[in-house]
Amino acid sequence: MSNPTSFDRSIKIAPSILAADFANFGQEIEAVEAQGADWIHVDVMDGHFVPNITFGPATCKAIRPHIKTVMDVHLMIAPVDPFIDAFADAGADYITAHLEAGPHIHRTLQAIRGAGAKAGLALNPGTPVEDMAYLLDMVDLVCIMTVNPGFGGQKFIHSQVEKIRTLRAMIGDRPIHIEIDGGVDPTTAPLVAAAGADVLVAGSAAFKGGSVQNPAPYGTNIAAIRKAAEGAA
Ligand code: DX5
Ligand code: ZN
């Protein structure tokens, strides 16, 4: 089980509750953790930065007691800054904001760490990784989006693999996680692991075929993604 305060580059599988039963988040989280999830990925969408709406800080606070591993909150919202304290108060371990969400991402990252959370920075598929060159010492995690954010179940965008490789070289020895979000499954996991990723978000590929009543497929799915990634890392 991962500890939010320790750092290593081992492969971590982070199921996204975007693909879980929205009426049953607590039990879904407990089931997926019991089946081997390392982190829990929580997708917050505002219908403005992305063309979909999920939930906000109150839901994050309500699910927090059900998470024993790491609460990884991905904010697909703009503006971000007015809501950072609320997500930190909700108990997020990592708060990830998008580089594209506003003109002052440097300030946003300062505010996330200032609120006591680990700072994550997400990049949309069209954003060059070089755009974060001056932010490297302000982040604990970089999330490379391998789909356009907003929906689960989309097709992996292969052009992003080279971007992961470039980012891995830029990071060097810094303790920064490389997280991949979108279209991760046992066929794409080896590509991103070989390029240097360590946190693999999986929505549909983690939850497919299972349920709270029948959680075993969650375990099979997570193990298949992990095995494929570890074989290539
Ligand atoms: C997409 C979200 C992802 C999503 C991934 O905007 O940020 O976390 O849940 O879903 P899959 O794994 O189905 O592509
Ligand atoms: Zn996400």
Q: pLDDT tens, position by position, for the chain (233 residues)? A: 456 668 999 999 999 999 999 999 999 999 999 999 999 999 999 999 999 999 999 999 999 999 999 999 999 999 999 999 999 999 999 999 999 999 999 999 999 999 999 999 999 999 999 999 999 999 999 999 999 999 999 999 999 999 999 999 999 999 999 999 999 999 999 999 999 999 999 999 999 999 999 999 999 999 999 999 999 98
Backbone angles phi, psi at 58, to 5 degrees: -65, -40
CA–centroid distance, residue 103 to ligand 1 (Å): 25
First to last CA, the chain: 19
3-state helix, strand, coil in the chain (%, to 5): 40, 20, 40
| Residue 203 near ligand 1, beta carbon < 6 Å | yes
Per the CB < 8 A criterion, the answer to whether 19 and 152 are in contact is yes
Is the distance from the beta carbon of residue 16 to the nearest atom of ligand 1 less than 6 Å? yes
**Nearest 5°: CA angle at 202, between 200 and 207?**
145
Atom index in ligand 1 nearest the CA of residue 45 equals: 6
Q: Is 43 in the pocket of ligand 1 (CB under 6 A)?
A: yes
- State whether the beta carbon of 46 lies less than 6 angstroms from ligand 1: no
The atom of ligand 1 lying closest to the CA of 150 is 6
pTM for this structure?
A: 0.97
**Buried-state track 108-138, b at ≥16 Cβ within 10 A, e below 16:** bbebbbebebbbbbbbbeebebeebeebeeb
Query: Phi and psi of 144, rounded to 5°?
Result: -90, 115
Q: Which residues contact 87 (CB under 8 A, 6 or more apart)?
A: 44, 57, 60, 73, 75, 95, 117
* Beta strand pairing call for 40-45 and 71-76: parallel
**For ligand 1, what atom is nearest to the CA of residue 16?**
9
Residue 128's SS3 state is: coil
